[in-house]
Structure 1
Amino acid sequence: MPPRLNIPPVTRVLLVVLLTQSVLSAAVRYRQWSAHSEIVVEWLTLVPQLSLFYPWTFVTTTLVENNILTLGIAGVTLYHGGKYLERAWSSREFAKFLLVVSLIPNALCFFVLIIFFTVTRNEMWTLTTIAGTIPLQISFLVAFSQLVPAHTVTLFRGVLSMRVPRFPLIYTGVVTILALTPILTSASLFLAVFGLITSWTYLRFYKTVFPDLDTSQPMSMRGDASETFAFAEFFPAPAKPFVSAFTDQIFNVLVAMRACTPFSQADMSIASGNTLLQRSAPGPGGVRAEAERRRALALKVLDQRLHAATASTPRSQSTLPAQPSGPPIQTQPQANVQAAMTSQPGTMLGETSYNSDQDNGEKENS
C-alpha cells in the first residue's frame, strides 16, 4: 500500500478548497469565454464593481487561482508551509492566522482600487479581479522569519545564500515584476504589500504565544517583542536605520491612537532571553516537539557531564588525600559542566545553519 499522506486537518481543507474553487472558476470562464471581453466570476472572486452583493468573496477569493502555473505554486506552498505552521501553532491558531491574512489584505486592496477609480475615473480599477494566494504565501514567509530568524538558505550549491527574513522582500519584488505581465493582475502588488504588513502586525502585536514550560512566566502572552522580528529586519543592513526610524514614528502614532500597546520591559527581557516557545497551544504536535527538545537537551547535558568528569579526574588518585589542594573533586565536574553548557551555543540547533556572527555584523552596520 502507498504511504498515507500525514496532512493536518486545516491544511487538508485548504488544499481541497483551493483545487475545487480554481477548477470551478476555470470551468465558468471557459464556458463564457469571449474574445472581446474578460470573463470574471463575481460570486467567487472579488471584483470591486460586481461583488458587493457577495460579501463571502472577501475570503473565498484568496483560494482561487486563474492559471495552472500559479495554481501549482500555490499548492506546493500551502502544502509545505501549512503543514509546518499548523504543527507549530496548532490547528486553531493556524486557522485564525489564515482568516486574518486573507480577509484584511483583500479588504484593503478593495478600498485602494475604489480610491484609484475615484481619483482617475478609470473603470478598469473597479473591474480588476482581486484573487490568489499571494497574501497567504507572503504571510508564510513572514511567519518563517519569526520562527527561524537566524537561519540561512543556500541555493545553487552555495552560489546564493540568504537569511530567511530576506525572503518576504524578495517575494514582493518578484510579484511586482510579474504584475507587469499577464500572469498576475495589477492588484497582486497590493495584495503582497498588505499581506506583508498584516501578517507582521498580527504576529508582532496580537498573536497569542505560550512561554516555555521551564519558565515561571504567565500562561499566555501576546505578540513578539524580540529584536530579530523587528520590521527593519526584512531589509538590507544599509536601509535598516531609515526603515526603523520610519516605523518607529508610525508605531508612536498607533500607540497614541490606542491601536497598539507598547511592550513592557518584562516583555522585552523575555523576548531577548528566548524563553517563549513559538506555538500557541499544547497540541499533540507541540507536546511531541517539546518532548524531543527536552530529551535532546538531557542527553547533551549528560554527555557533557561524563566528559567533564573524565577530564577533571586526576591520573593518580592515591595522592589526593596527601595533597588536598584546590576545590573538592565533586565540585569540579559541576563547574566544567556549567562552562560546557554555556559554550558553543550554536550546537543546540543541530545541523541547521545558524550565523549569529553575521547577525551581529548586520546590527553593527545598521
Structure 2
Amino acid sequence: MDARSLRSMHLSFAGVVYNLGVTAKIGSLLLVFFYTLSYLFDPLKPLAVTPGYLIPPNFWIWTVVTHPFVEVHILLLLCSVAAVVFSSNFLESSFGTVNLLIYYAIVCIASSICSALYYFFAYMVTFNVDYLFDVHINGMSGLLGGAVVAVKQIAGDQPFIGAVGLQLKDMTLLCFVCLLGLKLFGLLPGGYVLSYGFGALAGWIYLRFYQNHSKGRGDQTQQFAFKYFFPKPAQGPIGTVSNIVYKFLLKVKICRKTTYRYDVGAPSNITLTLSGVNSLDAERRRNKAIKALDERLKKSTSEASAAWPSLEDEEVGKIDPESTVNVPHPTKPDSQSSSPDGSASPDIVTIEMDSTSAAENV
C-alpha cells in the first residue's frame, strides 16, 4: 500500500471521527482507554461490578460508574464501540447531548445494580459463593438495552430488515435473543445478557414514567406500552400482568399517574377531546357560562349607573335633574361581539347615550 492510499485512509478516518457526536466521542475514548489498562493489570476485579465487593465492608461503589467501559477482549471492544457510535448518532439529535448522557448513566447504573441483586438472590437460593466473587458485570450491554428502547420510542415503525418485515421496534427482543443464544453457546458471559435485559427495562421505565418534556412527564402512548415489545401472541398475557403490577405500584405510591400540560390559549389546530364529555354536555356548559357572564355584566352596569357622579350645570351651578345619561342594559345580540363560532366576547360592551342629554353637557 503506497503513501497516497495511507493518507487517503487517514483523512477518511479523521473525517468520520470529526463528524461523530459528543456522546459517541466520549464513550469511544473511555472504552479505548480502559481497554489499554488491561495490558497493565486485570481491570475486572477493581473496575467491573463484582456483587460480593459491592456491599459492605468493601463497598466498591465506584464500579457502577466504571463497569460499562471495561472490556478485555478486542472483539467485544469493537462491538461496544459500534453500539455507542450508532446509538449516539441516532439519539443525540432527539435527546440532546446532556439528556442523552443522563439517560445512558441511568440505564447503566440501574442495570448493574439490578444484575448484582439478581446474583445476590441466586446466592441466597444456592449458597454458591461463586455468584458473589467470581461473577463480573462489565461492558456496554446495559447501555445497548437502553438505546434500543429509545430507538423504538423515536422511530419504531421504520423498517429494519424490510425483506423479512422487521422494524426498529423489533430490535429490543431481537438483540436479547441474539445475546441469549451467544450465552447458551458459551461465547458470552451471562452478565452481558442480564445487564442488557435490566438496561432495557430501566430505559423503558424512565422513558415511560419519568422523562421530562414540554407536555409533562413520561410517554403514555399506546405504541410504547410494555406488551408491544413482544410478539402479538404474547401481548395479551403480558399486558394483563403489566397492568396488575402498575396498579400495585400506584397503590404503594412508587409510581404516579402521568399528567400532561396543554396551552389551550395558544393558536393551534389541535382539538382536545375529553373523555366523558359529549357535544350536548359541552353545549350546555357553554350556554351556562354565557348566562353567568350576562348576569355579571348586568350587575356591573347597574352598579356603575347607581354610582354615576352628578354633573354641575355650567350656567346656574346647580344640578340639572334632566342632565342624565341613558345607559341601557346591554342586550345579548347588540352589546356583545360574537366570535366566529358564535360565542360571546365579554371584553366588548356597547354603551348608548341620548344625544340631547349629551349636547346639554358640552
TM-score, with length taken from structure 1:
0.63
Residue in 2 aligned with 1:58?
Answer: 64
Question: Is 1:132 matched with 2:136?
Answer: no
Contact 1:149 1:229 in 2 (8 A): no
Matches of 1:67 and 1:191, distance apart in 2: 18
Matches of 1:265 and 1:203, distance apart in 2: 14
Report 1:1-366 matches (<5 A): 2=12, 4=15, 5-29=18-42, 41-51=44-54, 52-126=58-132, 127-154=134-161, 158=163, 160-210=164-214, 220-264=215-259
How far did 1:53 drift?
A: 3.8
For residue 143 of structure 1, give the secondary structure of its aligned residue in structure 2.
helix
| C-alpha RMSD of the superposition | 2.0
Contact 2:217 2:260 in 1 (8 A): no
Contact 2:216 2:261 in 1 (8 A): no
How far did 1:28 drift?
A: 1.7
Matches of 1:222 and 1:26, distance apart in 2: 45
- One-letter code of the match for 1:173? V
Matches of 2:258 and 2:59, distance apart in 1: 41
Matches of 1:189 and 1:26, distance apart in 2: 26
Relative contact order: is structure 1 or structure 2 higher (C-alpha 8 Å, sep ≥ 6)?
1
- One-letter code of the match for 2:80? A
Q: Can you list the C-alpha shifts for 1:229-249, whole angstroms capped at 9, x where unaligned?
A: 111111111111111111101
Cα distance change on mapping 1:265 and 1:57 into 2, 3 Å: closer
How far did 1:152 drift?
A: 1.7
Cα distance change on mapping 1:242 and 1:26 into 2, 3 Å: farther
Matches of 2:210 and 2:119, distance apart in 1: 28
Contact 1:8 1:87 in 2 (8 A): no
How far did 1:140 drift?
A: 0.9
- One-letter code of the match for 2:206? Y
Q: Which has the larger radius of gyration?
A: 2
Contact 1:28 1:41 in 2 (8 A): no
Q: Which runs of 5+ in 2 are unaligned?
A: 1-10, 263-269, 271-362
Q: Can you list the C-alpha shifts for 1:29-61, whole angstroms capped at 9, x where unaligned?
A: 3xxxxxxxxxx6321111122454421101210
TM-score, with length taken from structure 2:
0.64
Contact 1:232 1:243 in 2 (8 A): yes
Residue in 1 aligned with 2:352?
Answer: none
Contact 2:143 2:199 in 1 (8 A): yes
Matches of 2:38 and 2:140, distance apart in 1: 15
- One-letter code of the match for 2:192? S
For residue 239 of structure 2, give the secondary structure of its aligned residue in structure 1.
helix
Q: Can you list the C-alpha shifts for 1:159-188, whole angstroms capped at 9, x where unaligned?
A: x22122211111111111222344321222
- Identity across matched positions, percent: 22
How far did 1:25 drift?
A: 2.7
The total of aligned residue pairs comes to: 246
Residue in 2 aligned with 1:308?
Answer: none
- One-letter code of the match for 1:186? G
Cα distance change on mapping 1:180 and 1:27 into 2, 3 Å: farther
Contact 1:106 1:130 in 2 (8 A): yes
Q: Can you list the C-alpha shifts for 1:102-137, whole angstroms capped at 9, x where unaligned?
A: 101100111111121122111221120111111111
